[in-house]
Amino acid sequence: MKGFFTGFDLGGTKMYCLLVREDGRIVERLRAKTQAGGSATRLVDGMVASIDELLARASLDRSQLSAVGIGAPGAVDFENGIVLNMPNLGLTDLPLKKLLQQRLKLPVLVENDVNAGTWAEFAGGAAKGCRHVVGIFPGTGIGGGLILDGRLYRGAGGGAGEIGHTIVQLDGRECACGQHDQVLGEYGCLEALASRTAIAKDLVVLAATGRAPSVLEDAGTDYTKVKSGVIARAVKSGNADVIRLVARAARFLGVGMANCVNIFNPELIVIGGGLVEKLGETYLREAEKSMRAHALSGLVRKVKVVQSVFGDDAVALGASLLAAESKA
């Protein structure tokens, strides 16, 4: 019997994979390191090994697998299944769909990770029953996913939803995208103000100056080591400076959410990703309060703000559901 799917949340340093039944139930979960070192073959080897491991755990074999879905970070050429940029892996224009299809002889779908995560929430999670949904996933960056009129909206080239790279403060901070300072010397991406990375850059200054002992203990003064759990521990310790920095990032996030309200007139905004997973309700409500202060009252009145139901599973689950749907 066929009827199983695998879904990947493919990150630059690790991958998270699920084995999913036709009815959407998760059967097995697996975490593995993403290893490539500039070689697409090595990356695909690792993904295939993860699939085989998942199948073995469930006493299944490849003949029972129907399709594979992959959620990948950043820009994806959806039509052709190409991941445009994975700087951590030393790979650009990676034809992941073609490579995996050749190896597995199965349908493969490649989607932007937050598109996939938002789809999961829409299909059976926090946004079930809605037709107009914006998904925002703050983490290393801030990704966005758009469900418009009940359909995943990808734009002309599959690149829609880059909410993290909208400008909310022209004289804000430099962003990793590097796109916003070439002519006018201006920055101001939402992501540079509200992502985990933005918080981390400020926290290490506190750590270095003796004002955030738990951060110093957990991560030293290297901002790339300040994961969401490190931030959460510093917040829980009651450090007022840390709490203030996190609240500021949440308020900036709320501005980005407000812009989405005014542009899309959605029913619901679902916040996912690592930051909200670890910081929870207080963080979410601070962002919501800011959203309500910054959006048109006629549009924001009916908007609900909720946390992802699927948490760490969202992206990989959504990718597998999209693969199942496109196969059908």
Residue ranges binding its own copies (CB under 8 A)? 75, 84, 131-132, 144, 146, 148-149, 151, 153-163, 165-171, 177, 179-180, 182-184, 186, 188, 251, 255, 258-259, 262-267, 289-290, 292-299, 302
Closest CB 255 distance from its own copies, rounded Å: 5
Q: Terminal CA-to-CA distance of the chain, rounded, Å? A: 16
Closest CB 189 distance from its own copies, rounded Å: 9
Compute the distance between CA of residue 108 and CA of residue 122 in angstroms, rounded to an integer.
21
Distances (CA, A) of 235 to 137, 210, 220, 246, 308: 20, 16, 16, 8, 21
* 3-state secondary structure (DSSP) of residue 161: coil
Closest CB 305 distance from its own copies, rounded Å: 14
- The rounded Cα 317 to chain-centroid distance in angstroms is 12
Nearer to its own copies, 113 or 218 (CB): 113
Nearer to its own copies, 16 or 119 (CB): 119
Compute the distance between CA of residue 56 and CA of residue 71 in angstroms, rounded to an integer.
23
Nearer to its own copies, 71 or 158 (CB): 158
Closest CB 220 distance from its own copies, rounded Å: 32
Closest CB 128 distance from its own copies, rounded Å: 15
Nearer to its own copies, 126 or 316 (CB): 126
Nearer to its own copies, 64 or 265 (CB): 265
Closest CB 193 distance from its own copies, rounded Å: 9
Closest CB 120 distance from its own copies, rounded Å: 20
Q: Structure tokens of 153? A: 């909206």
Nearer to its own copies, 193 or 226 (CB): 193
Burial 176-199 (b: 16+ CB within 10 A, else e): ebeebeeeeeebbbbbbbbbbbbb
Greatest CA span in the chain, whole angstroms?
A: 61
DSSP secondary structure of 175-231: -TT--TTSSS----BTHHHHSHHHHHHHHHHHHHTTS-HHHHHHHTT-GGG--HHHH
Nearer to its own copies, 200 or 268 (CB): 268
